[in-house]
Amino acid sequence: MFAEFYKDKKVFLTGHTGFKGGWLSLWLTKLGAKVYGYSLEPDTTPSFFDELKIGEKLEKSVVGNILDSEKLEKAIEEAQPEIVFHLAAQPLVRRSYLEPKLTYETNVIGTLNVLEGARKVKTVKAFVNVTTDKCYENKEQNKGYKEDDTLGGYDIYSSSKACSEILSSSYSRSFLENGYFLATARAGNVIGGGDWAQDRIIPDCIRAINRGEDIIIRNPEAIRPWQFVLEPLSAYLLLAQKLYENGKEYAQPFNFGPKEDSSLTVGEIARKVCDLYGRGKVITGEKSGLHEAGLLYLNIEKANKILGWTGSLSTDEAIKMTVEWYKHFYNRDNNLFEYTLNQINEYERKIPWAKKN
C-alpha cells in the first residue's frame, strides 16, 4: 500500500485526537510514518484516540489550540515535517449556530495559523487541508457538485469551510514559488467505529441503543452519500503522496465521495444500524428549526481522472464495518486495537485503485 512511501516520513497532523484524526494517525503509524500530532484533548468520553491509546504510537502528541499560533509554530518547528495534514476544526453544523465566532476563528484563523506555521519550516513539501463537502453553495440539486462550482454555505460551519477553501487557494497561489504544495480535500458524511460526537446519526443510534432508549431522528428523509472513514483517509494519503512526488500538478481542490449507490436517507441508515445491532427502535422527533441540507452530492470524476482514486465500499459494507466495531467496543473486546488494525488491513485488500498507484 502506497509502495512504502510513508515509511520514515515525518508527518505533522492537526486534529489527531479527533475521530478521523485518530484513524489517520493509526494508519500512518501502520505505514511506518513518524507522526507528530497537535490538537485539543479529545472532546468526547469515550474517544477513539484514548481507547486505542494512539498517543503511545506517535513520535509526539502535543495538546494545543491551533489559535495559539506561538505554540503551534513551535510544535511544527520541532517536528520538521515533510507532510502536513490539517484536520483540526470545529466540525459540527448545529454547534456552529450556537458558537459562530468560535467556528469562524477555528476554521479560518486557525487554518491560517497552520498554513503560516508550515510555511516557516522549509522541510514541508506537501500540505493537505481537509475541508468538507458542505463548502459548496448547496442548491439541493440532484447531481454532484464539481470542484469549480460556487462555494458558499447556508450555515456558519459550511460558510467557514468555504472561507478556508478560498484562503487555501489564495495562499497556494501567493506562495507557490517559495513554499510547499497545497491541496484541499472535500469529503463528508463519514462513518466508522469510534465516533462519539453529538448530532451524528450513527453515534446517536449507538448511544440510544446501549442506553435502551428510542432513536429519535429529526430529518428522516434527508439524503446523504455515506462513506466509511478509511475511504476519505485513503484519498488524503494518496493526495499527499502525489503532492510530495509531483508537486504543482496536484496543488488544487479535490472531491472525495463514496460509490454512486451509497446515498441513503437518514431514516434508512438508522434502521440498518438497528438491524445489524440486533435491537433498537427508530422514531421521528421534532425538527430543531435550524437549517440542515436535505440533499448534497459530490462529483468525484476529477479525483478518479487525475489521482486514480475512487470509492471502494458500498453503503452496506460501510455500515456493517461501523456497527461491528461498536459491538466489539461495547462487548469490552480486549483486542480492540488489533481488530481496528484488521479493519484497515481488510480495507487495503479491497481498494481497486491501489494497484494502479
Report the catalytic residues: 157
Q: Which three cell numbers stand for residue 66?
A: 491551533
Q: Which three cell numbers stand for residue 105?
A: 476563528
CA angle 201, 211, 280 (to 5 degrees): 60
**Radius of gyration (Cα) for the chain, nearest Å?**
19
* 8 Å CB contact between 132 and 168: no
CA angle 269–271–273, rounded 5-degree value:
70
Spatial CB neighbours of 129, under 8 Å, sequence gap ≥ 6: 86, 111, 115, 164, 168, 182, 183, 184, 185
